[in-house]
Amino acid sequence: MTELCYYEILQIEKSADKSTIKKAYRKMAMQYHPDKNPGNSEAEENFKAVNEAYQVLSDDEKRAIYDRYGKDGLEGHGQGGGFSRGGFDDLGSIFEEMFGGSFGGGSRQRQRKTYNYNLDTETNINLDFNEAIFGVKKEIKFKYKTACNSCKGTGAKGGKLSTCGTCNGQGQVHMRQGFMTFAQTCPHCEGTGQSVSEKCPDCSGLGYHEKEESFTVDVPEGVNNGNRIRVSGKGNIAPDGSRGDLYILINVKEDKHFVRNDDDIYLEVPIFFTQIALGDTIKVPSLKGEIEVKIPAGAKDKQQFIFKGEGVKSVNGYGKGKFIVQIKIIYPESLNSEQKELLEKLQQSFGIESKPHEDMFSGIFDTVKGWFK
């Protein structure tokens, strides 16, 4: 197999400038990144090649040597074949630029892999309905992990890891399925290639100690069930002292009367049938205290009255939601004799209007009878 030169690997011209090289590298690293191609060994090889090419071509001195003498020229120039490990810290910062913080955590761990927990951690808080709507200061208590000093987070006695016997240090095992062979992350060492032969006595092999911390968090106005608040620098602590982020997952209790849908609040209001017949103006509770609702005579069951801007303030800062009053018409369950009399009188006073079905169907009875003669 003829080996591709670094320019071919990155698919650029020999005269390419630095920004072109960087752009080409980002594109290809993104394409072949192991996180995007789990278990794909070809992508992994390509990823390594792309990294190797970038490390040389992005360095003016190395690039000059490479251009003149080729790969051989770089031997003994502090490269010694260890390309793919040497520059990882530098690459790490590029990945953070590329993928943002969420990816940063993952890639950081992939590179070092001397501790086996995530730096980001999560905890829950329960909020009352109103606390979520108006915001609140809450004391939260949470647990985080901090690397065990005796084993430097490895979980192995004295920090001494040995080569994983399951994958012989490769970090991958191969599975056959029919005529296909798949590479899989080693289940024993989870891809690190290293394993613990003797557990660290200080942390029982966990690699970390658990600690508790509490602080007051400012929950912003308008948060809702399922929202997460990120508190940077309050996560788990790595052996090198770097600390991940804490995510606070929000649970909101329901209210007896108000129903929340995003930034809108619904309130069901029972209205007696006579109020519907006569029309009425009523006061109902709202987020601000109370709100006046004008029920026109003849309003329908489930009719909604919408008050814009009287809902919840958007946590993202896009104004406020609606406050929606929905009416529910209530009829009396029973009538006393006086009420019955009054209603009968009322009915009679309407004359034919009080029997709309008779008015509508007058004449039809005779027509229908005629069909069967």
* Alpha-carbon gap, residue 369 to 373, rounded angstroms: 7
- The verdict on 196 binding Zn ion (CB under 5 A) reads no
SS3 90: helix
Among 9, 151, 252, 287, binds Zn ion (CB under 5 A): 151
116 binds Zn ion (CB under 5 A): no
Distance from C-alpha of 154 to C-alpha of 267, rounded to nearest angstrom: 56
Contact call for residue 202 and Zn ion (CB under 5 A): yes
Nearer to Zn ion, 203 or 299 (CB): 203
Stretch that binds Zn ion, among 138-146, 182-190, 291-299, 307-315 (CB under 5 A): 182-190
Work out how close the CB of 191 gets to Zn ion at its nearest, in angstroms, rounded to a whole number. Answer: 7
Q: Which of 49, 57, 167, 312 binds Zn ion (CB under 5 A)?
A: 167
User: Burial of 108 by CB count in 10 Å (0-12 exposed, 13-18 middle, 19+ buried)?
Assistant: buried
**Least spacing, CB of residue 200 vs Zn ion, in Å:** 3
Residue 218 Cβ vs Zn ion, minimum distance, rounded to whole Å: 36
CB of 102 to Zn ion, least distance (A): 27
Output phi, psi for 339, to 5 deg: -65, -35
* Single-letter code of the amino acid located at 155: G
How many residues line the site for Zn ion (CB under 5 A)? 12
Q: Does the footprint of Zn ion cover residue 156 (CB under 5 A)?
A: no
If phi > 0 it is left, if psi is from -120 to 50 it is alpha, else beta; for residue 213 that is beta
Q: Does 276 bind Zn ion (CB under 5 A)?
A: no
- Is residue 174 a contact partner of residue 40, using CB atoms and an 8 Å limit? no
The closest alpha carbon to 54, from 29, 85, 77, 32, belongs to: 29
**Is 44 a residue that touches Zn ion (CB under 5 A)?**
no
Nearer Cβ to Zn ion, position 148 or 252?
Answer: 148
Cα gap 162→168, rounded to integer Å = 10
User: Using CB under 5 A, which of the segments 202-210, 227-235, 273-281, 284-292 binds Zn ion?
Assistant: 202-210
Closer Cβ to Zn ion, 140 or 148, answer by number: 148
Rg (alpha carbons) of the chain, rounded to whole number: 36
Q: Nearer Cβ to Zn ion, position 171 or 222?
A: 171
In 3D space, the residue among 82, 29, 32, 83 whose CA is nearest the CA of residue 55 turns out to be 83
Closest by CA position to 291, among listed 313, 275, 269, 263: 269
Interacting residues with Zn ion between 120 and 149 (CB under 5 A) = 148
CB burial of 15-31 (b: ≥16 within 10 Å; e: otherwise) equals ebeeeebbebbbebbee
Residue 223 interacts with Zn ion (CB under 5 A): yes or no: no
In angstroms, the Cα distances linking 43 to 6, 48, 117, 155, 183 are 17, 9, 26, 31, 11
Stretch that binds Zn ion, among 84-92, 103-111, 159-167, 344-352 (CB under 5 A): 159-167
End-to-end CA distance of the chain: 99
**Given candidates 56, 119, 200, 265, which one binds Zn ion under the rule CB under 5 A?**
200
The smaller minimum CB distance to Zn ion, of residues 148 and 299, is found at 148
- Output 56 or 203, the one with its CB closest to Zn ion: 203
Options 133, 189, 237, 324; binder of Zn ion; rule CB under 5 A: 189
User: Which CB sits closer to Zn ion, 165 or 332?
Assistant: 165
Residue 203 binds Zn ion (CB under 5 A)? yes
Q: Identify which of residues 77 and 143 has a Cβ nearer to Zn ion in the complex.
A: 143
Q: Is 261 helix (H, G, I), strand (E, B) or coil?
A: strand
Told to check if 161 binds Zn ion by CB under 5 A, we report no
Task: Find tokens 């260890």 and name the residue.
Answer: 82
Residue (145 or 322) nearer to Zn ion, CB: 145
Distance (Å, rounded) from C-alpha 272 to C-alpha 315? 37
Q: Does 21 bind Zn ion (CB under 5 A)?
A: no
In the complex, minimum distance from the CB of residue 116 to Zn ion, in angstroms, rounded to a whole number: 12
Question: What residues make contact with Zn ion under the rule CB under 5 A?
Answer: 148, 150-151, 164, 166-167, 186, 188-189, 200, 202-203
